[in-house]
């Protein structure tokens, strides 16, 4: 999923897109990556 990778690197794009679903997904990705470290 290239879009997930892109939005993960640039979270600001989620806000610009104003997509709540993508925001939640990326939040979950960030949380998981923090816990995995």
Model pTM greater than 0.95? no
- pLDDT score for 6: 57
- pLDDT score for 30: 92
Q: Give the confidence band of 4 by pLDDT, cuts at 50, 70, 90.
A: low
Total domain count for the chain? 1
Structural domain span for residue 17: 2-36
CA distances from 22 to 9, 17, 29 (A): 13, 9, 10
- pLDDT score for 26: 85
CA distances from 9 to 24, 27, 30 (A): 15, 12, 10
Q: Give pLDDT tens digits for 13-34.
A: 656 666 677 778 889 999 999 9
- pLDDT score for 33: 92
């Amino acid at each position: 999923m290239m879009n997930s990778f892109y939005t993960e690197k640039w979270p600001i794009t989620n806000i610009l897109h104003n997509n709540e679903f993508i925001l939640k997904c990326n939040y979950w990705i960030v949380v998981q990556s923090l816990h995995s470290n």
